Structure 1
Amino acid sequence: MDAYPLIGVARIVDGHVEILTDAPQVTIISPENNTAINETTVVVRWNGSDPTYDLDHYEVYVNGTPMNTSIPPSVTEYTLTLDEGCYIITVRAVDQEGNIGIDKIYIEVDTTSPSLEILSPKNNSNLNSSPITILWESSDDLAGVDHYELYSNGEPVDTNIPPTQTEYSIALSDGSYIIILVAVDRAGNIAKQTIKITVDATPPTIEILSPNTNSFFNTTRIVIHWSADDSFSGVDHYELYVDDNPLDVNISPTVTNYTITLNEGNHIITVKAIDAFGNVGEDYVHLIIDTTPPMVEITSPINGSISNSTMVEVYWNGQDYLSGIDHYELYVNGELINRYIPHTFISYSLILDEGENLVTIRAVDKAGNVGESTLKIVVDTTPPRVEFTAPRNTTVLNITTIMVSWRGEDSLSGIDHYEIYVDGEPINMSIPPDQKQYEIHLGEGTYTIAIKAVDKAKNVGRSTLRIIIDTTPPPVKIISPENNTMLNTSTITLRWEAYDNISGIEHFEVSVNGKPINVTIPPTQTRYTIILREGKNVIIVVAIDEAGNAGVSTLIVNVRTLRSYLIYLIVLLVPTVTLIVLFWKRRKFQKYREVNRR
């Protein structure tokens, strides 16, 4: 009967499998199952026992090939010399009854280090970022890579990197580093790669010193000043950009200023500092180039205005499309009144001197450009002078059409027009300033006539006069003696009465027979003594009122004294006697002629 040992405690007898419950026990304790070994000499160790019988011997097989089949039961190890490769090592324990116990292990003999190459970064690299990523590739044809180990400057970073991982990120501060990557295969063979790198991940510090950001300029030529520092690798060069467009990308690291010419408008100026590792530090400023003066216009009062108040409120509009208005300045007659009026203000109260004033408002934008607007304003608080020249005040007139005359003057703003009023009622409110007289039609009565001179500042000067219009002669009546009285005396006293309800009687005049006797008799006197001639006398009493109207009263008086009677008789007889004499002489002459003819 042939027996073919298998594994464990079983055997085949006559074509049947028998489970041996009393077979010997054997366990390989070294090397472990599935072990990779980096030596060709392999010592196999085991433990064996038999619960029923005594062990007879051990047997060692390599890949089914017997290496030794008669190892005494007291020996529990066996040294094998193996080439690189994969092996199944079997140990069989055989007892004295021929029962067999079996144990086996799988091992790999690998004395070759794995291949390893660091792909990135390259040796002696200068790196400007952190963390950095190390990339590699590795292989091991027999045992396979078990794990990787990473060291930085001799300090372990990670000593158990899985074999499937071929990259690793590590945060490094600025400095120089020796990076070691170790590939360890399952047999313990190692491969090592070393690279030297320098890390500078810190960008240079840079600051634009001038101009300040959001600065305003009224010139297109600007000088940019900056300072920069890079304590590790140092600044390699500077680059200058205007509105993201490169102006100069190779400025020497010793240069820290640059003159640029900009168009009007908003601009972003960027200065970049690039260090030897390519790190970029940058700073920028926002600049506004504004070479256009702001627009400003005084809206009130209008240019050439005339005011009758020394307090004037000035209004204006201002705008600046680029930098914006910073403030306003106010001048009067070239003298600074206020150097800083906020840009939000659009008015200002001024107290001006009387006379002509030049008011200037200046708009100053944030770039320092100046626009200005000037107006002339005349302050005239003095009323114009005006006075009537005719008629005189309290004049009494006997006409209803009155021509009033005046003169007016205003040395500052000038007279704008005249206005004429009668008893407070306007007659004409727009008499031209060059007109100096005006015709008024009035009825009888007492009137107050006012002339107003209105200057261009609307100041008003006034002059008034009082006149009386009286076109009615005053009634006058001689009351003594009676009309057609015959008197025997030549001295008489006239008596009369008169009145005038409008202007009043100014005086009386007495004339006799066409000859004035007294033309300045006071208005309070109503009697007058006169001496008349013999005969008929025509006596006239005239009442003259203040307007010059004359009321007349006439009286005829006959005077017959004794003397006058004699004279009268003589006067009557003389013509008769004369006629008689003439008649007598004529008769005598005729007789004489008759005698001579004969």
Structure 2
Amino acid sequence: MNRRKGVFATFGLVAVLLVGYVLAAALAFPSASLLSGAVGTRAPDSTVEALPEYTNRAVIEIRYAANGTAGSSGVFWTELYYRVPGKTNWTLYAPPWNPDGRWFGQLGFSTGALVEGTILFDTYYTGGEATYELSTRSVDRGYWYEAEPRNAKARTTLDTRPPQLFVASPTPQSWTREKTLKWIAVDEVSGVAAVEYDLDGTFVASSDQASGEAPLDLTSEGSHAVVVRAKDRAGNVALVPVAFHYDPNSPVLHITAPARDGYVNSKSVEVRWDADDTGSGLASLRLSVDSIPPIELAGATRAYTLQGLEERGHVVNLVATDLAGNVASETLSFGIDTKPPTVQLLAPRDGGYANRRDVQVLWLGSDEASGIAQFEVVLEGRDPVIVKNAASFTFTNVPDGARSFRVRAVDRAGNAGDATSRVTVDATAPSVEISSPNAGDTVYGPLEIGWSASDAGSGVEKVEFLYDDGVPTVVTGAQTHRVEGAALGPHFVLVRVWDRAGNSAEVGRAFAYGGATPPDGGPFNIGVVDFWLLMAAIAAIAVVSAYYAVRRRKRAQA
């Protein structure tokens, strides 16, 4: 009971003291109210140190100064208020570690007039990234309040995220022939302040363009690295390293088939080529012919067959692209000709004869499409002879006998046309002899001339008989010829023979014709004239013999 009375007595004493304080304050300052905003010169004031326009620190240091002007009571605490765009009301900054939002400066409980302090404004509890307007309100020890915030005393924008940076060129780990750096940087909060880049570890330049391009001083083929840094106004940095390979050289490309400006003899044409790239390597090939859509091929391909081409001229184009984008191209023209040329062998004619050891071969050849490239002239048993821009050739020292000749015309597409001729070579004249009469004979009775003719090569073609200066008589196949009405006296006959090759030979004979019957016979049945000639010869022999006999006798006697 006594204890309860003591408690009530204590509360009563406190109540009396509070009432007395309020009454005294009301009598001394009738226009003021307890714990309310002060007016006049008694209200404290405060300032906030200016903040950067942008910051990337989530915890912002707010430096303030408070001045208590109401006598000697001094500043008791300071409150921090903030607001973000779209909000008109100020919000007391009261984090969990200071739930009443009262911040005491360095002289918080002293009687000094100026108090300075720092408030750690943690945006984690205020909503994160935003533009913050900040204001302070000081309270002195007499509980006089600074006027409620109306205007911001400091402003800053929190941006904790780095810019978004995209390097468009070069592409990471790729090959390129370009010497240009291209980038795009975006920062939605504070904006991009600068873009810097290094090449192979050396700083190159800085640009204030959020999106742009700049030259890269690349001089050597091979691997390189560029590092691009984008900085926003809050100090955040985005860094993109790009390793790439540089190849400024085009591939090496050469079409090996078909031959440039040549012809092929098929409507299916295989196109072959050599291609190489010592830098990045071949990426792809593109083959096209005439106006046909291009054919895409792998970089390792080295041949492709075109099907169903028309028999005419065509144009083929091949484009090689390496991994760096360098391009090499080659174009060539060719034609298709599937028809063989025509050739006609004019001489020697088939089944004919040649009467010379040097045989001239004559021909005609033509080709309407690709044209004649060459002729191959062949004599049986000998190597072919290549002839260009001519229509004849002479084989020398061809032996007698049956021989085969061939002329082959080859056009520019490789098509061939042949003409052959089977010929008998006979360069030897036929043989002919007159068997009767003998040279110098006097013929009596019927006048019949006999002979023999032969030819071992081509055979006897024709025989003519000539008597004195008369007209030749063809006597082919005969071996004798009777002359009718021959006159007495000396005569001359000629037998001329031709073989099938055109060789000729002839033989003549002089004789006398004594008439139909011989004259009467002398001693020993010898003709009178012959008898006396014989007698004269015997007498001459006898005289000579006697002369030599006499001389020997005289020598013996001496």
Query: TM bucket by the smaller chain?
Result: 0.5 to 0.7
Q: Normalised by the size of structure 1, how large is the TM-score? A: 0.52
Amino acid at match of 2:212: Y
Cα distance in structure 2, aligned partners of 1:553 and 1:269: 112
**Quick one: which of 78, 88, 109 aligns to 1:239?**
78
Cα distance in structure 2, aligned partners of 1:215 and 1:487: 114
2:387 aligns to what?
A: 521
2:490 aligns to what?
A: none
Q: Does 1:280 align with 2:280?
A: no
Provide closer, same or farther for how the CA distance between residues 554 and 221 of structure 1 changes in structure 2, counting only shifts above 3 A: same
Cα distance in structure 2, aligned partners of 1:541 and 1:527: 10
Provide closer, same or farther for how the CA distance between residues 387 and 512 of structure 1 changes in structure 2, counting only shifts above 3 A: closer
Pairwise mapping of residues 257-272 of structure 1 onto structure 2 (< 5 A)? 257-260=117-120, 262-264=122-124, 265=128, 270-272=135-137
Instruction: Give CA deviations for 1:131-169 in whole Å, capped at 9, x if unaligned.
Output: 789xxxxxxxxxxxxxxxxxxxxxxxxxxxxxxxxxxxx
Cα distance in structure 2, aligned partners of 1:348 and 1:233: 63
1:512 aligns to what?
A: 379
Matched residue of 1:239: which SS? Answer: strand
Number of equivalenced pairs: 376
1:398 aligns to what?
A: 265
Q: Does 1:208 align with 2:48?
A: yes
Matched residue of 1:368: which SS? Answer: coil
Amino acid at match of 1:400: K
Amino acid at match of 2:304: Y
1:546 aligns to what?
A: 412
**Quick one: which of 456, 465, 470 aligns to 1:568?**
456
Cα distance in structure 2, aligned partners of 1:126 and 1:380: 92
Instruction: Give CA deviations for 1:430-464 in whole Å, capped at 9, x if unaligned.
Output: 12222221012334433332111245666542112
Deviation, structure 1 residue 271: 3.9
2:333 aligns to what?
A: 466
Matched residue of 2:360: which SS? Answer: strand
1:149 aligns to what?
A: none
Contact 1:295–1:318 under 8 Å retained in 2: yes
Between 431-440 and 465-474, report the one with greater CA deviation: 465-474
Instruction: Give CA deviations for 1:561-586 in whole Å, capped at 9, x if unaligned.
Output: 446777839x9xxxxxxxxxxxxxxx
Instruction: Give CA deviations for 1:506-556 in whole Å, capped at 9, x if unaligned.
Output: 33222222423x512233353424333222221222223333333222122
Matched residue of 1:201: which SS? Answer: helix
Provide closer, same or farther for how the CA distance between residues 425 and 556 of structure 1 changes in structure 2, counting only shifts above 3 A: same
Pairwise mapping of residues 76-115 of structure 1 onto structure 2 (< 5 A)? none
Provide closer, same or farther for how the CA distance between residues 413 and 407 of structure 1 changes in structure 2, counting only shifts above 3 A: same
2:368 aligns to what?
A: 501
Deviation, structure 1 residue 351: 4.1
Matched residue of 2:123: which SS? Answer: coil
Q: Does 1:298 align with 2:166?
A: yes
Amino acid at match of 1:393: R
Matched residue of 2:349: which SS? Answer: coil
Contact 1:298–1:361 under 8 Å retained in 2: no
Cα distance in structure 1, aligned partners of 2:53 and 2:405: 112
1:248 aligns to what?
A: 102
Contact 1:238–1:250 under 8 Å retained in 2: yes
Cα distance in structure 2, aligned partners of 1:348 and 1:562: 99
Cα distance in structure 1, aligned partners of 2:25 and 2:410: 143
Contact 2:402–2:422 under 8 Å retained in 1: yes
Matched residue of 2:456: which SS? Answer: helix
Deviation, structure 1 residue 496: 1.6
1:389 aligns to what?
A: 256
Deviation, structure 1 residue 240: 3.5
RMSD: 4.5
Instruction: Give CA deviations for 1:30-68 in whole Å, capped at 9, x if unaligned.
Output: xxxxxxxxxxxxxxxxxxxxxxxxxxxxxxxxxxxxxxx
Contact 2:342–2:366 under 8 Å retained in 1: yes
Matched residue of 2:420: which SS? Answer: strand
1:222 aligns to what?
A: 61
Cα distance in structure 1, aligned partners of 2:395 and 2:103: 133
2:286 aligns to what?
A: 419
Contact 2:373–2:388 under 8 Å retained in 1: yes
Cα distance in structure 1, aligned partners of 2:259 and 2:25: 124
Contact 1:474–1:543 under 8 Å retained in 2: yes
**Quick one: which of 342, 348, 359 aligns to 2:212?**
348
Cα distance in structure 2, aligned partners of 1:486 and 1:384: 64
Contact 2:312–2:336 under 8 Å retained in 1: yes
1:438 aligns to what?
A: 304
Relative contact order, higher structure (CA 8 A, sep 6+)? 2
More helix by share: 2
Contact 2:225–2:242 under 8 Å retained in 1: yes
Contact 1:543–1:550 under 8 Å retained in 2: yes
Cα distance in structure 2, aligned partners of 1:206 and 1:563: 148
The higher radius of gyration belongs to 1
Gaps of 5+ in 1: 1-118, 134-173, 175-198, 572-598
Cα distance in structure 2, aligned partners of 1:556 and 1:326: 97
Contact 2:360–2:392 under 8 Å retained in 1: no
Gaps of 5+ in 2: 1-20, 82-90, 95-99, 432-453, 460-558
What is the percentage of aligned positions where both structures have the same residue? Answer: 20
Cα distance in structure 2, aligned partners of 1:560 and 1:249: 140
Provide closer, same or farther for how the CA distance between residues 485 and 451 of structure 1 changes in structure 2, counting only shifts above 3 A: same
Matched residue of 1:490: which SS? Answer: coil
Amino acid at match of 1:568: A
Matched residue of 1:510: which SS? Answer: strand
Contact 2:408–2:416 under 8 Å retained in 1: yes
